[in-house]
Structure 1
């Protein structure tokens, strides 16, 4: 009777320890001899082939010094509130020193909900990228699927060379896709659902082959050229528009303009100052978002002072040093922009004067015609009155 009570007591202790502890076999993860447990919980490690009534000896990484807050019950080792210092190899031996079992314990956390972002650089396919929101310290894998009204649940294709990414090939542009990204590790799984529509996630790659050059004889102009990104198919029915931002290195404010062309001429550059230029692209119908900016390209507008300075330097070098300072008078470099502005002002003034003179001439001619016509009318009236007056007089007076 006493032996039955003792057995029942041992069974209750073992059951209580099992309820308060966690451990996971490694067979599902292909790591033989490895067990997993959750940090901060109690872990139970059974000693295989051990007789519950026979004493066993546990060793941690080959040493009899076990982690703190550990105990043995019925041959099993119990680690209370295990932390990362308890990670390692555990082995148990019988009273003769024979090895009964050995296993490696890894500790971590169940996965958190992954953070997912989907985008496409064209309308051929789209990709989803994810990051783990929790450091689990355990091996992790991802199950990625999608479905829409036209397709049942299908796998979102993962590329081993590009981890944390999957792709949907040849999607329907105007369809919505329900993405399911599930993060899984030996302690559990967590998933993130995301509804994706192609026209809302399109983000082209940055334009390529950006070149900025000065425009000869125009000290305030820069010619900017670029190409479409190679990932955006030129034969596509979807066109791109572009955004050009530029600024002088002397000023912190950016100027931004939009164009549908593959080139743009900056007409308000600062003469003689280096400029920084970048370009980005977007779907012509404003779907999705702008691409990232290209790398910076730099250029300085054309200046005539460069050639003049070179000529002056050559002249000074040819002079005899003993003759004293050069007699060449100092002149300011000619700025064609000033001449162009003066010509424009003179042309405007000439045009305005011509218009004024033309209007004055027209008014003068109209007044002259009116006055002349009025004079003729008055002369006719005087002749008519004279004739009437003569007819009214007696013939004797007329004679």
Structure 2
């Protein structure tokens, strides 16, 4: 093949490509023997192993009749300038008589990008991190995952100034994740996730605080049951997630959401118990219920919602006869226009809580009436008292004046 590259320029291109190829020596274990990796957009050089430098060789591309555009041969090596993904393939070099000297499989791709990393703790003893690549490299990729504890005790500082460094263990059954076991809830950690491929590596450092990433697994064993002779009540119970250690110092609180199946809006209740009674359910309508969990001290995030559980409250015996006369069209209207209030039924005045609310309202009203009467009475008394004092002062002044007139003068005494 005759090359269009001038002699000096061709030498420079060959030397640069040789240096680039030398710098991209394939690490052990990256692939089978006879595979060479190169970066897209760079000049790639393929060496004809076993050929004498002084003897001419011929290069061929398996499965193609022509070599890539711009390729050149220099002292037995094949130079592929500005290689693209289409340049990848299997190449072979031959002697002048056509004998096969060497075969190489060329794979092209990109350098690793900085991976995206996120971490989560499903309990206060372990946390896991997951990552995804930010660049599609088209090359085999490995990850090196380590961590270092940032907040150290005095003893730890004396033993290791840089803190304890350990591996974030990867699970082959869960690619793209690693776990730090026996972590401390009040400590901070720095994760190092390094992405490596045959062309190079890139890493991301992520500082992790356990309180910020705690996110329990959803509660388990959700059970919803109707309460006999209570047409508007459902009993709901659940269990701690099995991944959360049963310790008294780290409790969970829970969030319960429920709605009739034919409605779209949820009602939400929070509790610290493992059971709750829904008191405003729709009698005779199937309800769907879910529950989630969060650290009792409000650290981290709410868990995902649990699997749904369904139940129907007991039918209201008092209104059964009237409900039988309700047409299907009225239920369809209820489904199309759900009430925004959690309980659109008339208030049951026999409810003790409602009676208590009425009594409290009456008491508050009576208090304000008595206070108003007392204020008005006090103002009237003050007004009467003030006018009484003024009349007494006027009467005393007249008596004193009359007494002075009755007294004899000095001239009369003489």
TM-score, with length taken from structure 2: 0.70
Equivalence for 1:153: 165
Q: Distance in 1 between matches of 2:174 and 2:355?
A: 64
CA distance in 2, matches of 1:12, 1:294: 66
1:318 is aligned to none
The farther-off stretch of 58-67 and 10-19 is 10-19
Equivalents in 1 of 2:126, 2:212: separation in Å? Answer: 13
Helix, strand or coil: the match of 1:25? coil
Report deviation, 1:221: 1.4
Q: Is 1:176 aligned to 2:188, yes or no?
A: yes
Asked if 1:254 corresponds to 2:266, the answer is yes
Identify the residue that residue 26 of structure 2 maps to in structure 1.
Answer: 26
Note the C-alpha offset of 1:108: 0.8
CA contact (8 A) 1:182 1:192 kept: yes
Consecutive unaligned residues in structure 2, runs of 5 or more: 1-5, 157-162, 326-343, 367-414
User: 2: CA distance between counterparts of 1:301 and 1:266?
Assistant: 10
**Counterpart contact for 1:41–1:82, Cα < 8 Å:** yes
* 1:76 CA drift (Å): 1.7
Asked if the contact 1:244–1:277 (Cα under 8 Å) also holds between the matched residues in 2, the reply is yes
Deviations 1:248-280 (A, max 9, x none): 233222111100111111111122222221100
| Structure 2 counterpart of 1:110 | 111
The residue number in structure 2 matching 1:365 is none
Length, aligned pairs only:
325
SS of 1:29 mapped into structure 2: coil
Report the secondary structure of 1:92's partner residue: strand
* Whole-angstrom distance in 2 between the partners of 1:259 and 1:173: 24
Q: Highest Rg: 1 or 2? A: 1
CA distance in structure 1 between the aligned counterparts of 2:10 and 2:346, rounded to whole angstroms: 106
Q: 1:100 to 1:195 in 2, by over 3 A?
A: same
Partners of 1:348 and 1:54 in 2: CA distance: 108
Conservation of the 8 A alpha-carbon contact between 1:305 and 1:333: no
> Is 1:226 matched up with 2:227?
no
Corresponding residue for residue 319 of structure 1? none
What is the CA RMSD across the aligned residues, in angstroms? 3.3
CA contact (8 A) 2:230 2:314 kept: yes
Instruction: Compute the displacement of 1:147 (Å).
Output: 1.2
What is the CA–CA distance in structure 2 between the aligned matches of 1:83 and 1:7, rounded to whole Å? 25
Which 10-residue stretch deviates more, 263-272 or 238-247? 263-272
Q: 1:238 aligns with which of 233, 244, 250?
A: 250
Q: 2-side partners of 1:25 and 1:209: how far apart?
A: 55
Tell me, yes or no, if the aligned pair for 2:27 and 2:198 is still in contact at 8 Å: no
Q: CA deviation at 1:78?
A: 1.9
Contact preservation (8 Å) 1:282, 1:289: yes
5+ residue gaps, structure 1, are 1-5, 309-329, 360-399
2:225 is aligned, of 213, 216, 240, to: 213
Quick one: which of 266, 276, 280 aligns to 1:268? 280
Evaluate the alpha carbon distance shift between residue 7 and residue 43 of structure 1 in structure 2; reply closer, same or farther with a 3 A threshold.
Answer: closer
TM-score for the superposition, normalised by structure 1? 0.73
